[in-house]
A and B are shown apart, each in its own frame.
Chain A
């Protein structure tokens, strides 16, 4: 369990520092200047979902990134009216989803459901833009990290799908076959 989830006997100001410390463990926020990090910590919203609840649905307008504080989240997608499981995220592996929402407005192309009781932090695109507006020098590196995170997730998802792909889908490299 992460420190943001624990109620503490510390002084009045520990909540913000706990969240900031939690955020620093994410690749996207890891090297952010202290001013930027504390603003994100301040603007992050806590969301809690009980097991089985839909966190976001395919086709809805995206507006925020989610960071998993505790619990597991099932990422899935419908294709040809069949439900395909893509990833099971938990706080100790790939523990974020919806990162592209920080950069652009689009409709979610996947859904997320609470696999267990889940505690999340979310940061909205509006908050991201407001902070970046004040710290433009950090913007480029943040965007790069968001894209890297996305690639990381893509590789993970592709690996999972390839593991489960039917044998018929396998083809030899045509160039090698002709040779």
Chain B
């Protein structure tokens, strides 16, 4: 008999709701009960005090006694309130703790369910069950024991107190409860049925929305908005009808409760009043009785609400567990043995695989694969080659026959056995959100549990092997590093800058205008020319500068404000005139200080302005922003009057001396590779970092920092220069640091920030790093370009030959000659196998396939 996860205990989906409540956090729940019991005394005690205040203190006109009873009353009420607070907090704490465990265990179960389960299941159903629906149960869990116990005990204690005061009156006021015991459950059952339908409808609706969002491209492509709307509309209508009925019943229950609650005082006033008038009942006792009656209804109401909550939680719980009510087909960890270390001898005997609909995808497959043999699985599309690979990887289970590895039946192997020994690369691999590095180590981490991580050298080697190196370097170069992230590598990055500035200066000077404190920079903005640095606090970003009092003061002192306003005005006027027909096309704004979404604003501004030097602050600031963004050699929209260059250089010196207190001469002297960090003259303390060769610019990318200047034109900053720099950095072993930064690149949700090829390479590197003896590749290189494909193929031949058993599902037959054996499938059967030469000579199916491909 096949071993399943059931062997480890009761299947999670078969547990009752109270299984969780009664078996988890018992000591905490006992403690809660204890607090409840204590709190009962403090609930009843104030009632006794009420009676005594009226009957003794007021009646005897004893002030001392009044003070005593009132003091005791308020003391008891305060303690009761505090205890109630503690009970509530503890209740939520226990509930959430149980919910947390329930969710974790259920998720673990859900992840291990077979792939076939997910073929039928909508992701929306699983998501909603694991999140919102479980949350609703959590609210019930915490009070599952505490609420009924508290309510029943409170009820009993107050009833007792009422009997103690007057048995007849107590019996009369209890008379209404039995009636309620029939009415409320009747309504509740109705409510439960409606609620159950509500959950199902909501779930179906979530699936429709989920599917639409996943396929939004197709919807836009087909303009099928109304079609999709129609699909959802029927569910919306159903939900609307259900909610109407649900609330009619819900408020019906509420009405019944309120009505019965009001019936009690009526009886009390009538009978109690009569007895008091006739002197058979003291006034104090009547007041205490009324208070007790009011209080006795609270636990009763709580019990009814508890009952409703229980029914609701029970329905939700059963529905959630019902979805996942099947066994994971394999154990996660082995029983009574260690995880196996396999060699990779694979044997398939009379294997048949049938899908639930009855279609047979594989028929009577027998195949022996020796350890370290490299096998190519080929065949027409739909021949079953991928299915065969998935069966060997234990991702599907055979319908008949056996698959074994090193003599162990794959059916009997646990998940961890497979995880350690088999690495699988899918045609469309899944990349998880997180960093490149996290994705690379995903496979290793899963089977090693955090130990035995590959060292940095191996990680970099795997990246290099799959040809991902250049991409990682590019990611690294685009990273903006915080001082903490940069600290370990800063000296090396500054060394890279130095290489560009010295040995490669001649080549790079053609493409980069280096920062030079003595020169006007034509490829940098006027802002960069004046500020000549950056503040980590973003104090001097262009948009904030026109409102920066010291900056504006400086411009006015140096008579620079007016020329800048004139420049800004000219930019705005020219742009509005030239681009009024193109204000929706981003292309025309690429080389303009004005941004597309600012067009209307400036257009309005120009209509208001009478000249280039407006009086109001807002207009001045808008014009200054345009001027400060202006880059003379990039923005051809206007010209920079050459008289301004000298003024701007003067402004730069003044800005350094008066606004940020930086001594550039001092900073420049530190340019022998020693960072000028702690010296206040270098600006570090004020958070200002000047464009000084010894300073790392934390607001810029790593590439900006290495180039240390403005790129003159992307068109001239070509591959030749990149290669030149890469080689120079590699010679000094500096590139590893950039790759290290690149490994921290966030790939986005599902790896959306990566191209298809990058994702595939990442998945291949991920599998290589796992270093399992068996490697299964399901058209793993299909989406790569020819060079990358050849690179991976070369690696299989050179590095893995004689080291790993490889089963590769291959579409491109020109890759097959390198494999030890080619297995040809047709309509779910093996029709041929042999080496490339043998099969070509035989002129059978493989030969035909090759010809058709050609």
Specify which chain A residues have a CB less than 8 angstroms from the CB of B582 in the assembled complex.
130, 134
Q: Which residues of B contact A (CB under 8 A)?
A: 510, 566-567, 570-571, 574, 578, 581-582, 585, 587-588, 591, 633, 636-643, 712-713, 715-716
Question: Given A9-B643, A134-B581, A49 and B636 touching (CB < 8 A)?
Answer: no
Interface centre among B571, B639, B713 (most CB of A within 10 A): B639
Q: Which residues of A contact B (CB under 8 A)?
A: 7-16, 18-19, 38-39, 41-50, 53, 122, 126-127, 130, 134
9 contacts between A and B (CB under 8 A): A13-B574, A16-B638, A42-B578, A42-B588, A43-B588, A45-B713, A47-B713, A53-B510, A127-B587
Nearest B-chain residue to A19, judged by Cβ: B636
- Please tell me which one of the listed residues B578, B591, B642 contacts residue A39 in the complex, with CB atoms under 8 A apart: B578
A45 to B591, CA, bound (A): 9
Specify which chain B residues have a CB less than 8 angstroms from the CB of A43 in the assembled complex.
588, 591
A10 to B640, CA, bound (A): 9
B636 touching A44 by the CB < 8 A rule?
A: yes
Specify which chain A residues have a CB less than 8 angstroms from the CB of B643 in the assembled complex.
9
| Apart from A15-B637, A15-B638, A19-B636: 4 A-B pairs, beta carbons within 8 A | A16-B639, A43-B588, A47-B716, A134-B582
A141 CB, nearest partner CB in chain B, Å: 20
Nearest A-chain residue to B645, judged by Cβ: A7
A119 CB, nearest partner CB in chain B, Å: 11
B639 touching A130 by the CB < 8 A rule?
A: no
B578 touching A46 by the CB < 8 A rule?
A: no
Nearest A-chain residue to B713, judged by Cβ: A47
Interface centre among B570, B571, B588 (most CB of A within 10 A): B588
A104 CB, nearest partner CB in chain B, Å: 20
A69 CB, nearest partner CB in chain B, Å: 13
A13 touching B510 by the CB < 8 A rule?
A: no
B638 touching A46 by the CB < 8 A rule?
A: no
Nearest A-chain residue to B570, judged by Cβ: A12
B624 CB, nearest partner CB in chain A, Å: 14
B269 CB, nearest partner CB in chain A, Å: 87
B408 CB, nearest partner CB in chain A, Å: 55
Interface of B, helix, strand, loop or mixed by DSSP: loop
A45 to B574, CA, bound (A): 18
Specify which chain A residues have a CB less than 8 angstroms from the CB of B567 in the assembled complex.
12
A8 touching B578 by the CB < 8 A rule?
A: no
B714 CB, nearest partner CB in chain A, Å: 10
- Please tell me which one of the listed residues B510, B570, B639 contacts residue A49 in the complex, with CB atoms under 8 A apart: B510
B623 CB, nearest partner CB in chain A, Å: 12
A42 to B640, CA, bound (A): 15
A11 touching B639 by the CB < 8 A rule?
A: yes
A95 CB, nearest partner CB in chain B, Å: 19
B639 touching A14 by the CB < 8 A rule?
A: yes
A8 touching B639 by the CB < 8 A rule?
A: yes
Specify which chain A residues have a CB less than 8 angstroms from the CB of B578 in the assembled complex.
38-39, 42
Interface centre among A38, A44, A45, A126 (most CB of B within 10 A): A45
A126 touching B587 by the CB < 8 A rule?
A: yes
- Please tell me which one of the listed residues A12, A15, A42 contacts residue B566 in the complex, with CB atoms under 8 A apart: A12
Nearest A-chain residue to B627, judged by Cβ: A12
A45 touching B638 by the CB < 8 A rule?
A: no
B641 touching A16 by the CB < 8 A rule?
A: no
Specify which chain B residues have a CB less than 8 angstroms from the CB of A13 in the assembled complex.
570, 574, 638-639
- Please tell me which one of the listed residues A7, A16, A46, A126 contacts residue B637 in the complex, with CB atoms under 8 A apart: A16
B581 touching A47 by the CB < 8 A rule?
A: no
Nearest A-chain residue to B510, judged by Cβ: A50
Question: Given A16-B574, A130-B588, A42 and B642 touching (CB < 8 A)?
Answer: no
Specify which chain B residues have a CB less than 8 angstroms from the CB of A122 in the assembled complex.
715
Specify which chain A residues have a CB less than 8 angstroms from the CB of B571 in the assembled complex.
12
B638 touching A12 by the CB < 8 A rule?
A: yes
A21 CB, nearest partner CB in chain B, Å: 13
A9 to B640, CA, bound (A): 9
Question: Given A9-B642, A49-B510, A130-B588, A42 and B636 touching (CB < 8 A)?
Answer: yes
A50 to B633, CA, bound (A): 17
Closest 7 CB pairs of A and B: A12-B570, A15-B639, A12-B638, A14-B639, A13-B638, A15-B636, A7-B642
A18 to B638, CA, bound (A): 10
A35 CB, nearest partner CB in chain B, Å: 8
- Please tell me which one of the listed residues A10, A41, A53, A127 contacts residue B636 in the complex, with CB atoms under 8 A apart: A41
A45 touching B715 by the CB < 8 A rule?
A: yes
A44 to B582, CA, bound (A): 16
A11 touching B570 by the CB < 8 A rule?
A: yes
A172 CB, nearest partner CB in chain B, Å: 47
A8 to B570, CA, bound (A): 16
Specify which chain B residues have a CB less than 8 angstroms from the CB of A42 in the assembled complex.
578, 588, 636-637
A146 to B771, CA, bound (A): 59
- Please tell me which one of the listed residues B591, B633, B641 contacts residue A12 in the complex, with CB atoms under 8 A apart: B641
A14 to B637, CA, bound (A): 9
A47 touching B715 by the CB < 8 A rule?
A: yes
B641 touching A11 by the CB < 8 A rule?
A: yes
A11 to B637, CA, bound (A): 12
Specify which chain A residues have a CB less than 8 angstroms from the CB of B637 in the assembled complex.
15-16, 42
A41 to B570, CA, bound (A): 16
Specify which chain B residues have a CB less than 8 angstroms from the CB of A130 in the assembled complex.
582, 585, 587-588
A12 to B587, CA, bound (A): 23
Specify which chain A residues have a CB less than 8 angstroms from the CB of B633 in the assembled complex.
46
B716 touching A49 by the CB < 8 A rule?
A: yes
Nearest A-chain residue to B577, judged by Cβ: A38
Specify which chain A residues have a CB less than 8 angstroms from the CB of B636 in the assembled complex.
15-16, 19, 41-42, 44, 46
Specify which chain B residues have a CB less than 8 angstroms from the CB of A44 in the assembled complex.
636
A97 to B128, CA, bound (A): 62
A45 to B639, CA, bound (A): 14
Question: Given A41-B636, A130-B585, A134-B581, A8 and B642 touching (CB < 8 A)?
Answer: yes
A41 to B633, CA, bound (A): 14
Nearest B-chain residue to A17, judged by Cβ: B639
A14 to B638, CA, bound (A): 7
Specify which chain B residues have a CB less than 8 angstroms from the CB of A9 in the assembled complex.
641-643
Interface centre among A8, A12, A53 (most CB of B within 10 A): A12
A122 to B591, CA, bound (A): 14
A40 CB, nearest partner CB in chain B, Å: 11
Specify which chain B residues have a CB less than 8 angstroms from the CB of A39 in the assembled complex.
578
Nearest B-chain residue to A50, judged by Cβ: B510
Specify which chain A residues have a CB less than 8 angstroms from the CB of B713 in the assembled complex.
45-47
Nearest B-chain residue to A18, judged by Cβ: B639
B458 CB, nearest partner CB in chain A, Å: 37
Specify which chain A residues have a CB less than 8 angstroms from the CB of B510 in the assembled complex.
48-50, 53
B715 CB, nearest partner CB in chain A, Å: 6
Nearest A-chain residue to B633, judged by Cβ: A46
Nearest B-chain residue to A126, judged by Cβ: B587
Question: Given A39-B578, A130-B587, A134-B582, A10 and B716 touching (CB < 8 A)?
Answer: no
A41 to B636, CA, bound (A): 8
Specify which chain B residues have a CB less than 8 angstroms from the CB of A127 in the assembled complex.
587
A7 to B713, CA, bound (A): 19
